Amino acid sequence: MLSLQNMFVNPSGECDSKSAADSERTLYPYVTGTSVVAVKYKDGILMAADTGGSYGSTLRYKSVERMKAIGKHSVLGASGEISDFQEILRYLDELILYDNMWDDGNSLGPKEVHSYLNRVMYSRRNKFNPLWNSLVLGGVKNGQKYLGMVSMIGVHFEDNHVATGFGNHLARPILRDEWREDMSFEEAVKLLEKCMLVLLYRDRSAINKIQISQVTEAGFNIFQPYALKTFWGFSAFENPSKGAVGTW
């Protein structure tokens, strides 16, 4: 016999059985954030993401912050399902708390946190209960800069610049052409803003309100969100065929 807590009415009005484990799974994303872009620069790591949250195809929320400091040395950025990102942050809070309880003068660096995230995402994928996020983890410890990403199925790598979502297709070509290891803070911010502007013009889920975080040997700083200036007065919008051969 089915208990009341295992019964629910689906949208068609039919009554089905549902286990407690099923009700805890993200079967498909509801509220999602789009691309995260990050680069190494002369003094550390810079990461950028917009603050939009899409409810399905509707850009419902305009002030969703998707970058969080992890421990003393790292910042984590996420695209994908916002509630699953909150679950990942809960895992990391427990990890950092357990690490602090040792009180041995050491603390987890970005490489260790990235390795932990790899195992979490791959484990959840193997249980057919993935966390619907792509993650970017950047940090600096003992003078060593670290920047890596991990996908929702546990695919992971480390690089000088990384991106998630549409950023993989639209931002990384720009980064390959213009990134330099000795970039100053101002140059790196300008490059990230260029990438975010390209994404804004081509990604329907992006907005022009962005947030940038910085990690150096001295610590981290997550700056307040601000709006990028946009320009939509392209002549092609007024007359797409203007200047083309054979037009009138």
The 10s digit of each residue's pLDDT in 163-202 is 999 999 999 999 999 999 999 999 999 999 999 999 999 9
In the predicted structure, residue 77 carries a pLDDT above the cut 70: yes
Rounded Cα gap, residues 144 and 44, in angstroms? 8
Question: Model pTM greater than 0.85?
Answer: no
Per-residue confidence (pLDDT) for residue 109, from 0 to 100: 94
- CATH number for region 30-228: 3.60.20.10
Measured between alpha carbons, how far is residue 28 from residues 36, 122, 153, 244 in Å? 20, 18, 14, 45
Which position among 26, 32, 58, 216 bears the catalytic label? Answer: 26
Confirm whether 230 is a catalytic residue: no
Structural domain boundaries of the chain? 30-228
Which tens digit of pLDDT belongs to each residue from 100-153? Answer: 999 888 899 999 999 999 999 999 999 999 999 999 999 999 999 999 999 999
Residues 6 or more apart in contact with residue 150 via CB below 8 angstroms = 114, 117, 118, 121, 134, 135, 137, 156
Which tens digit of pLDDT belongs to each residue from 7-51? Answer: 333 444 444 445 555 557 778 889 999 999 999 999 999 999 999
Residue corresponding to tokens 């009554």: 15
Per-residue confidence (pLDDT) for residue 7, from 0 to 100: 37
